[in-house]
Chains A and B, each alone.
Chain A
Amino acid sequence: MSQSNQSLRRTLDRLFVPLTVGPTILWIAGIIVYPTLQLFWSSLFWTNPITGAKEFVGIENFVDLLFGDAGGWLGVLNPTFVNFTWNTIVYVGFSVTISFLLGLGIALLLNKDLAGRGWLRTAVIVPWILPYVMSGLMWRWMFQAQYGAINGVLVQSGLIDSKIAFLSDGTLAMMALIVADVWVFTPFIIIILLAGLQNVPEQLYDAAEVDGASRWSRFRNVTYPFLKPSILVALTIRIIFDIRALDLVWVMTQGGPGKATEVWASWLYRTAMVFQRSGEGAALGVVLLAVTFAIVAVLYKVFGETPYST
């Protein structure tokens, strides 16, 4: 009895690695690798939106996506593609830049030895943990033309005379999206950069102070080198998350008014799910996948770091 127990124990021990890693690998293969392969496969078909019938078309979906209705940029690219790509660049570019600078500032402030720092940190983290849908709807309510708080504050304090229909104007709607996005994701930047700031050795600041280094020079020469990996991570995750995130855009503007705030994520959802054109939606998905990996590669190249994480 005890002998067979012994041998069972030894067998189980020998199988430790396969038994602990195997299930996860199989699970990931089933839930990620298989759907990803199917994405590439689906992108080669044209789907009839009414009957659902599929027809093999090779790379035609990609050609249409990039060059269809030629006459756009340089007379070559698909104007729809150029237009929505531009919207995405504006949305992601402004959101990430503003939230990064704001997050860096707040992280530097929170890194100071202040009383109540723990509470302040808790207070600034909350927006990131709320469901994005609820945050999106909350901001839609804030920007609402008649009863929204922003118009309320502006009018009731006498700053403007007549209310502004923020979400009915293309440019203002894009600005509203960016405000909501910055509100939601700045905490993430703060958390990552605060962790990075803890790597900066205190003595280096003292030394810099003795040398009479200016505030900027201290940041540039002491803080920045230690913070660089965290900056890289924060930017990478922020950018790839913003390109693919649908929640805020969908509930705040649905890509409107017109197509003023249509970004890649909402375009993909509209193509695949609303218009039921799954082949074209899959092609868009493949492009999104490629762009994501390209951005990560470029960021690591620019920062001259070996992949630290992600």
Chain B
Amino acid sequence: MSTRTSYLDRIADGFGLDTDNEWPSVVRERLVAYGLLGVYVFVVWFPIYYILITSIQPTSEVLSLPINFIPQQPTIGNYVDIFANRPFELYTFNSLVVASTTTLICVTLGTVTGYTFSRHDFLGNKALLLSIVGARMIPPIALIVPFFSIMSSPPIIGGLTGSLYDTKIALILTYTFFNLPFAVWIMKNYFDGVPESLDEQAQVDGCSQWEGFVKIILPVAKPGIAATAILAFIFSWNEFVFALVLTSSEQAQTLPIAVSLFVADDFVDWAHLAAGGMIAALPGILFGLFFQRYIVSGLTQGAVKE
């Protein structure tokens, strides 16, 4: 029996409970765990709540004191305004096109290449895989100078006119830079966990390598593909630095840039910024709420697995 008394024992005393019998240590530990997690969850969600209520208040109310932490006259005016006064439908469209095309390219190439790295020994496979993994560590921001100059100069391949600067293509190409090595790596790790007997079974059944891959392996790999796709989409949707460097008009600017444009030199339009921010944050919040499992598995495949 312990002679130490914790604050929980004291609380228990306050309720007149006999702590030795009625507060088993498991219950006590759980209460502490819930308490601490509760505080953390509150801290995590409070800023999101604050930007949400900012987005549904008129500017006059946002800039009034004392601060109301519960909106007095909720309105969707800010959301209507940003679509009416700024090309938010174009920013959203650009974000969708750039993120989904990047995802499609990375998932397609990442899946087939990851599979081959997992199953085949070929000349230089280790060195190639190591280079791909190493490419993941190159700091993207270190490459803003070459990317800016490459995208600003006329294309090497003939037939195209003008440079790629301020186009969605420039962003798509750039975003594959950090997402493709990541996709190859996640999918390689995922296929490592798929039993090789499946491949053998396909061969016994007379499938060619391609048929076996498409008919037998791909269906099994769906969760891995989903994880890769979700992460590639989120990374591309959220990207800011290259979009800042490589775009200058609404024909290519994405939502993160659109949101940052609300910050003028001496003045920030907080109510409208909050509305734009909520639109940019929406996929993240939805993915987080509904596909948390895939995000976790993708990240751990991409980071922890050998």
Contacts and interface: CB of A to CB of B under 8 A. Distances in A.
Secondary structure dominating the interface of B = helix
Nearest to B113: A24
A224 interface: no
Nearest to A42: B145
Interface in A272-310: 272-273, 278, 281-282, 284-286, 288-289, 292-293, 296, 308-310
Given A13-B208, A126-B44, A246-B241, A21 B113 contact: yes
A244 B139 contact: yes
Contact of A24 (B109, B122, B140): B109
B210 A13 contact: yes
Contacts of B15: none
Contacts of B112: 20, 24
Interface in A112-144: 112, 114, 118, 120-127, 129-135, 137-142, 144
B184 interface: yes
Contacts of A36: 138, 143, 146
A133 B256 contact: yes
Kindly name the residue among B43, B69, B139 whose own CB sees the greatest number of chain A CB atoms within 10 A: B139
A21 B150 contact: no
Interface residues of A, number: 96
Contacts of A310: 133, 136-137, 303
Contacts, number: 288
Contacts of B245: 273
Interface in A239-255: 240, 243-247, 250-251
B37 interface: yes
B281 A251 contact: no
A100 to B, nearest CB: 15
B41 A138 contact: no
Contacts of B305: 309
A129 B287 contact: yes
A155 B65 CA distance: 11
B296 A138 contact: no
B191 to A, nearest CB: 12
Nearest to B29: A112
Interface residues of B, number: 96
B209 A16 contact: yes
Contacts of A142: 47, 50
A106 B33 CA distance: 9
Contacts of A284: 142
Interface stretch (B80-88, B219-227, B270-278): B270-278
A277 to B, nearest CB: 10
Interface string B146-157: 111110000000
Contacts of B41: 120, 123-124
Given A21-B117, A32-B177, A141-B274, A285 B240 contact: no
A13 B209 contact: yes
B304 interface: yes
Given A27-B176, A106-B37, A292-B139, A134 B280 contact: yes
Contacts of B234: 129
A59 B69 CA distance: 56
Given A24-B180, A137-B263, A282-B145, A31 B139 contact: no
Interface in B49-66: 50-51, 54, 62-63, 65-66
B263 to A, nearest CB: 7
A91 interface: no
Kindly name the residue among A122, A233, A308 whose own CB sees the greatest number of chain B CB atoms within 10 A: A122
A141 B54 contact: yes
A265 B184 contact: no
A9 B208 CA distance: 7
Interface string A174-200: 000000000100001001101110000
Secondary structure dominating the interface of A = helix
A28 B144 contact: no
Nearest to A241: B139
A31 B138 CA distance: 12
Contacts of B79: none
Contact of A233 (B67, B115, B303): B303
A141 B139 contact: no
Nearest to A265: B141
Given A131-B281, A195-B304, A247 B241 contact: yes
Contacts of A281: 144-145
Given A13-B210, A233-B304, A285 B144 contact: yes
A217 to B, nearest CB: 17
B241 A251 contact: no
Kindly name the residue among B51, B176, B255 whose own CB sees the greatest number of chain A CB atoms within 10 A: B51
Contacts of A192: 299-300, 303-304
14 contacts: A12-B210, A35-B147, A38-B150, A118-B292, A126-B45, A129-B287, A131-B284, A155-B66, A246-B141, A247-B256, A265-B141, A269-B241, A272-B145, A285-B144
Given A20-B112, A27-B109, A144-B270, 13 more contacts: A9-B208, A17-B120, A35-B147, A112-B30, A114-B30, A124-B41, A129-B288, A133-B240, A142-B50, A192-B300, A278-B149, A281-B145, A288-B141
Interface of A: 9, 12-13, 16-17, 20-21, 23-25, 27-28, 31-36, 38-39, 42, 102, 105-106, 109-110, 112, 114, 118, 120-127, 129-135, 137-142, 144, 146-147, 149, 152, 155-156, 183, 188, 191-192, 194-196, 229-230, 233-234, 237, 240, 243-247, 250-251, 265, 268-269, 272-273, 278, 281-282, 284-286, 288-289, 292-293, 296, 308-310
